[in-house]
Amino acid sequence: MERDRRAGLKNHQLMPKTALAKARTGPLHILITGFSLACSIASTAWAHSRVLELYPKKIARALSAALGTKLIRLQCYEGLDAAHAIYEWNYQRQLLAIRAAAEDGKTGKLVEDRIFSEEFLLQRPLLQAIRQEVSPVLLIDEIDRADQEFEAYLLEVLSDFQISIPELGTLTALSRPHVILTSNGTRDLSDALRRRCIYAYVEYPDRKTELAILASRCPDLDTHLAAQIVGFVQALRKEELEKVPGVAEMLDFAAALAGLGLNDLNDDPEILRATLVTLLKTQCDRATVPIEVAQRLAGKAA
């Protein structure tokens, strides 16, 4: 096992000590802490990918900033195929090249070899990620939205960090990307894909952490109002909601209140009612939290 892990380090950029220090301090520490940071360290050392639930996009951006490297994102959806995820040929350029070669009297294998070269290859996120000179962060977002068949495309990338193209051969990684896969838990991922990943579930932040996030994103916000916002949102998460508001919704809520000039959640019930649209994203949730419930939660928030 140890020999396999060491072999996996070849041509792989480990997380430098300076990046780890940056990840442990300042705003990045808010996003890469505890188990998530351990997964980041372990996966860079063992060339594993990470499967994250909750706030993975922020963690991916934070990791990219800590490493000082490029962030490449693949958004998954139903029907996603290799042409949109891995590569496709630039057919228009190929046709133009064939016509130009014909005018010059060139035909046969010489032309075929040229039009099926990397010059005519359109790199999609997976191929783009392994062809970078410096290891990028590859975010494969909402993998559970893609068809199960698409996971088979990922296995070659996550196992060997190479991509096979029939007309061109096998393209191996110039550098191994730091891969983060995200899942909303709408379906189970295959055992083969899970085996190639380290799994982490990122919980909602505690009060202190969420206040630090809010302070870093809205530094001009009054501290009393900030404490009320965090307390209100954290209390709201305990209600029976279809779509529980996350950190992004909390930040939208704070921006809306600040934009309307509110200094205290209890000052104006109408403003509180109007800004609930930033937190409650379904009709059922809005019915679950009428203004009376919101006022009760706001009264307890501090």
Task: Say which residue, 177 or 104, is predicted with more confidence.
Answer: 177
Q: Is the pLDDT of residue 55 over 60?
A: no
| 3-class DSSP state of 138 | strand
Task: Say which residue, 159 or 244, is predicted with more confidence.
Answer: 244
Q: What is the pLDDT of residue 33?
A: 44
- Does the pTM surpass 0.75? The reply is no
Mean per-residue pLDDT, 85-102: 89
- Determine the Cα–Cα distance for residues 149 and 220; give it in Å rounded to an integer: 48
Question: Which residues have C-beta within 8 Å of that of residue 135, sequence separation ≥ 6?
Answer: 12, 13, 67, 69, 175, 176, 177, 178
Summarised one tens digit per residue, pLDDT across range 276-293 is 999 999 999 999 999 999
- Determine the Cα–Cα distance for residues 274 and 279; give it in Å rounded to an integer: 10
Mean per-residue pLDDT, 263-283: 91
Mean per-residue pLDDT, 253-272: 90
**Domain boundaries along the sequence of the chain:** 2-70+135-159+176-201, 207-300
What letters, b where the CB count within 10 A reaches 16 and e where it falls short, cover 253-275? bbebbbeeebeebeebeeebeeb
Mean per-residue pLDDT, 128-156: 88
Mean per-residue pLDDT, 32-48: 46
Q: What is 2-70+135-159+176-201's CATH number, 1.20.120, 3.30.1360, 3.40.50, 1.10.3470?
A: 3.40.50
Q: What is the pLDDT of residue 54?
A: 46
Summarised one tens digit per residue, pLDDT across range 205-258 is 889 989 998 998 889 999 999 999 999 999 999 999 999 998 889 999 999 999
Q: What is the pLDDT of residue 302?
A: 66
DSSP-derived secondary structure for 41-87 = HHHHHHT-EEEEESSHHHHHHHHHHHHT--EEEEE--TT--HHHHTE
- Determine the Cα–Cα distance for residues 226 and 96; give it in Å rounded to an integer: 60
